[in-house]
Structure 1
Amino acid sequence: MQRPTAAEIAAAHGRTIPDRIAKGLQVLFCGINPSLYSAAVSHHFARPGNRFWPALHAGGFTPRRFTPDEDLLLPSLGYGLTNVASPATATADELTPDQLREGGVILRRKLRRYAPRVLAVLGVGAYRVAFAKPRALMGRQPEPLEGVTVWILPNPSGLNAHYQPADLAARFAELKDALPTLAAPPP
């Protein structure tokens, strides 16, 4: 993957990235929205400093550390990628509550269509707004969405200083360890 220029990154504002999704996935990982860097290269979690790929591997989901340009391989392992909101921004703080709520409606349609076993939302704040769950906490949620178990993981952005790499890996591993006990959604 070639590193984009500053002009290419700036021009990516508002662009979208295609989902990496298929029916019947074990886990559909859901970011808040694409970074400008990710939109410029059209790969999820591509911004240098984003800790998604290391956490995914350290948590036991991949046999090795994947790179962002290998995001197309995830569905073959039973995992997918999407976002709550589609437009790329420099930071998630640029999104409006309306954009997050609209993204929640679209995400519900994806859950009905693709029926993953688990939706793993990477950011508790975005989840709270998108689904009107202001008291949601990290981990498994008490109520499914569209029959799909919901699990909230920390935002892996390098801008999220609350979670260090070992903490992220531990949170991802909790979900991986719980997968065998989580019921599959009805067909």
Structure 2
Amino acid sequence: MSSAPAKPTKAELAAAVHKTVPDLVAPNLQVLFCGINPGLYTAALGHHFGRPGNRFWPALHGAGFTPRLFKPWDEHELLPLGYGITNMVPRTTAAASELRPSEYVEGGLRLARLVDTYQPRVVAFLGIGAYRSAFARPKAQLGLQDHVLGASRLWALPSPSGLNANHQLSDLIALLRALREWVDQSPTS
């Protein structure tokens, strides 16, 4: 367990717009979680899902993916468990609404290359709107999708951002638990 980094200053947050957050990925992961894009707080920290109000880490633990509640700076502990993190769009913004539609499409192509290289079993999109936009699937619903990237199955989930009022933490936990149970019960190909 790493120690918590200092809270970013206003100047560090402003400078974060020029930063990216490196992918946390390795070959043959069970699940590659794919966020929409890094926010300023996350980029300033340099760790995925870094903003204190983001519900990714509590939902991941609540669904049984992690043995304890990880903090963003513990993200490296996911790899030995078979999980990784990337973003649909690497560009940092204050809000996902700042992204252009073409960035989602480009992000989908980048993700397809990443998946081709690392071959995760499942790619779990943490933002169904980003998934719909990137892959021209406007009617996609939450859960297991009917198409694949390479040999990787695809799941669409809500964004864990604290700004997403449509889904509470309990909803996110239930949806992530369904993914974990599917991964645990489905035979590998």
Match of 2:28 in 1: 24
TM-score under structure 2 normalisation?
0.95
Distance 2:110 2:120 in 1: 15
Distance 1:72 1:39 in 2: 16
TM-score under structure 1 normalisation?
0.96
Cα RMSD after superposing both structures: 1.0
Runs of 4+ in 1 over 2 A off after TM superposition: 180-185
Please tell me whether the aligned partners of residues 117 and 182 of structure 1 are also in contact (alpha carbons under 8 angstroms).
no
Distance 1:100 1:15 in 2: 18
**Quick one: which of 141, 146, 155 aligns to 2:145?**
141
Q: What percent of counterpart residues are identical?
A: 52
Q: Residue type of the partner of 2:107?
A: G
Q: Residue type of the partner of 1:48?
A: P
Q: Residue type of the partner of 2:22?
A: P
Match of 2:94 in 1: 90
Unaligned stretches of 5+ in structure 1? none
* 2:43 is the counterpart of 1:39: yes
Please tell me whether the aligned partners of residues 14 and 89 of structure 1 are also in contact (alpha carbons under 8 angstroms).
no
| Deviations 1:150-185, CA, capped at 9 Å, x for gaps | 011110000000111111111110101111343535
Q: Residue type of the partner of 1:113?
A: T
Matches within 5 A, 1:1-187: 1-184=5-188
Count of aligned pairs: 185
Distance 1:183 1:2 in 2: 43
Distance 2:70 2:102 in 1: 33
Q: Residue type of the partner of 1:49?
A: G
Distance 1:181 1:75 in 2: 20
Distance 2:186 2:139 in 1: 22
Distance 1:101 1:181 in 2: 32
Q: Secondary structure at the match of 1:53?
A: helix
Q: Residue type of the partner of 2:101?
A: P
Distance 2:58 2:103 in 1: 29
